[in-house]
Amino acid sequence: MSSITVYGEIEDEIKSIFRSRLQTQILLSLMEENKDLSQLREITGSTSQAVIPKIRKLELNQFVEEEGHNYSLTPMGNILTSKMYDYVMAFGVFCKFKDFWAKHHIRGIPEPLLKDIGDLIDSEIISETTEDVSKVLSTYFRCLQGSRQAFVVSSMTSIELIDAVIQMLENGVPVEVVITGDLFMKLDKEPYIEKYYEMMKFSNFKLMVTEEYVRVGTTVTENFLSFGLYKKDGILFDLTEQIFGFDNKSLAWGKRFFQYYKDRSKIIEMPKNERIEPGI
């Protein structure tokens, strides 16, 4: 049975939930933790006379149940509300960064991470300005300084980025990087070859190559997430604006993003007979 058919059969039931601000707010608030009537009044900004009938309707549909003086979600209510939460948060992120998504190649984001895109709701867009044309990169390098670990997924690089990684490695910071096969081939050529071998000599550096489709430039540490995408055509990486996140949910999303590609990559080890010293 298709979703269109299902919707047609239960259209009234669906509308009864989503048309009601109070019912939606009650369900979303109970997803966080059980609450009593006074807490639900405060959250919704409504009176008991307005809230109680909505609670009774949710109880009738077996989405909410009363335990003592508290209300909680039933198992069915929890499933419904978790889907509702994902929808609300994803919609919030797409609305908050509407221009950013419209101008960029979103297909570079794996589907499992797109489902959790709402976790970026507290992040922000940093863009270059007329007064500061390098604002994105300067913010990135400033955030990178002092990090105790770094996880990177990218299909592009630059001498400046590699130098920043080498600096971290020299300071004993663990760095793990997932790149595409195309980028890996470029590292073994000028102008990157010497710096590639310099990175590979560090025991705290792990380089991995994935055959997955990658059109992102992402770094996550214990302090920040930097998330950049290619322009709409999927050809050029956009250095003029990126999403930066500093809250726990954004960082967790970034780490899951990295883990997704790490699980689909293979570790690169430099053959012993090819080890060279930098500058040789």
Q: How confident is the model at residue 272 (pLDDT cuts 50, 70, 90)?
A: low
The verdict on pTM exceeding 0.85 is yes
- CB of 230 within 8 A of CB of 242? no
Find the helix or strand (DSSP H, E) in which 253 lies: helix 248-262
Rounded Cα–Cα distance for residues 135 and 146 (Å): 19
pLDDT tens column, 111-151? 899 999 999 999 999 998 877 778 999 999 999 988 999 99
- How deeply is 154 buried, as exposed, middle or buried, from its count of CB atoms within 10 A (0-12, 13-18, 19+)? buried
pLDDT tier for residue 280 given thresholds of 50, 70 and 90: very low
Q: Give the pLDDT confidence of 141-200 residue by residue, as tens digits.
A: 999 988 999 999 999 999 999 999 999 999 999 999 999 999 999 998 999 999 999 999
pLDDT of 13: 86
- Rounded Cα gap, residues 114 and 106, in angstroms: 9
CA neighbours within 13 Å on the CB side: how many for 275?
Answer: 8
Which domains are seen in the chain, by residue range?
3-85 (1.10.10.10), 98-274 (3.30.870.10)
Percent of the chain with pLDDT over 70: 96
On whether the CB atoms of residues 90 and 118 are closer than 8 A, the answer is yes
Q: What is the pLDDT of residue 276?
A: 40
Would you say 139 and 126 are in contact if contact means Cβ atoms under 8 Å apart?
yes
> % helix / strand / coil in the chain, to the nearest 5?
50, 20, 30
Q: What mean pLDDT do residues 88-99 have? A: 95
Does 100 score more than 90 pLDDT? yes
User: Helix H segments across 171-247?
Assistant: 181-187, 193-200
pLDDT above 60: residue 226: yes
Average pLDDT over the chain reads 91
The pLDDT assigned to 274 comes to: 52
116-151 per-residue burial string, b: 16 or more CB within 10 A, e: under 16? bbbbbbebeebebeeeeeeebbebbeebbeebeebb
According to DSSP, the β-strands at 241-245 and 150-154 are: unpaired
Q: What is the DSSP letter of 146?
A: T
For residues 62-71, average pLDDT: 93
The arithmetic mean of pLDDT across residues 41-70, rounded, is 94
Structure tokens of 14?
Answer: 């669906």
Mean pLDDT in residue range 70-75: 96
**CB 80, CB 31: distance < 8 Å:** no
Helices 37-44 and 48-60 sit at what angle, rounded to 10 degrees? Answer: 110
pLDDT at 38: 96
Q: Are 262 and 179 contacting, i.e. CB atoms less than 8 angstroms apart?
A: no
Whether the predicted pLDDT of 107 surpasses 90? no
